Amino acid sequence: MSDLAVVLRKTRSEGRAALVGYLPAGYPSVEEAIAALATMVEGGVDIVEVGLPYSDPLMDGPTIQAAVDAALTAGTTPADVLRTVKAVAEGGTPTMVMTYWNPVEQYGPDRFAADLAAAGGAGVIIPDLIPEEAAPWLAAVDTTGLDPIFLVAPSSTQPRLAFVAAHCRGFVYAASTMGVTGAREQISGRAATLVSRLREVTELPVCVGLGVTTGAQAAEVAAYADGVIVGSAFVRRLLDADSPEAGLTSVHALAEELATGVRAASRTDSGSW
């Protein structure tokens, strides 16, 4: 059983969803990003998602784009991403990478999977890669034991949901809405329907991302999903901070608020996985 599966089973046994927190490697610097990720875990994040900075982040909204651009300008490399993963994973928290396909293809799928596994990585989310075009990547992760995680959207047909879920391990990533990442005043009502539809075709955990900003929103999603993924809200705390110390304090406070939300949610049936 993978590290992701272990944590998701543990949180389910506790009657709650897992809290997944995202930050891009290298922002504000490599070391400060590592410190921020550690602070998120201290605040209650169960699973960490490290972003690999890329020049064309088509799924990411302006908040994450701003941080990624700053990280790239500062010279952040895939080696820095792996160093970030290693630092977080050594603390015992399952750590994934979120990346687009081009950097992996340039690095070499087999080499990237091997190096990430050696760093302690648990899985990889590649939002612009679909299972039909993922044969080299799936072969690479099968060799290393990493969990491949693909995305589904509210517009996905039922056969499509089944097909994508069949190629995932760890969990299925359910995008709550059509569009890019970013904080939203309310979570789309289509997210709950999407999770329910996924329950019909897979026993894998389902984690929901895109738009969660507050503890109340986290509780709303945690009532029906197995995991709540938060990214832009954490990044915004760092972007708006007057100092590194203030950024860490703000990130910790948000993690605590979100963790309280997922633990306070009134759970509905979360499947038989």
Nearest-angstrom CA–CA distance, 102 and 218: 32
Per-residue tokens: 141: 């992760």
170-182: string of b/e by CB count within 10 Å (b at 16+)?
A: bbbbbbbbeebbb
Nearest-angstrom CA–CA distance, 70 and 97: 18
Contacts with 188 (C-beta within 8 Å, 6 or more apart), sequence order: 154, 176, 177, 211
Burial (CB count within 10 angstroms: exposed 0-12, middle 13-18, buried 19+), residue 88: buried
Which residue among 3, 46, 60, 226 is the active-site one? 60
Burial (CB count within 10 angstroms: exposed 0-12, middle 13-18, buried 19+), residue 119: buried
14 catalytic? Reply is: no
In the beta sheet, which residues pair with residue 137?
A: none
Which residue among 3, 14, 32, 49 is the active-site one? 49
Asked if 149 and 206 count as a contact pair (C-beta separation under 8 A), the reply is no
- Give, in order, the Cα–Cα distances in Å from 265 to each of 70, 114, 128, 162, 250: 36, 38, 32, 27, 23
- Amino acid (1-letter code) at residue 169: R
3 catalytic? Reply is: no
Of 132, 45, 40, 59, which is closest to residue 99 (Cα–Cα)?
59
Pairing of strands 151-152, 227-230: unpaired
Nearest-angstrom CA–CA distance, 36 and 247: 8
| Residues labelled catalytic | 49, 60
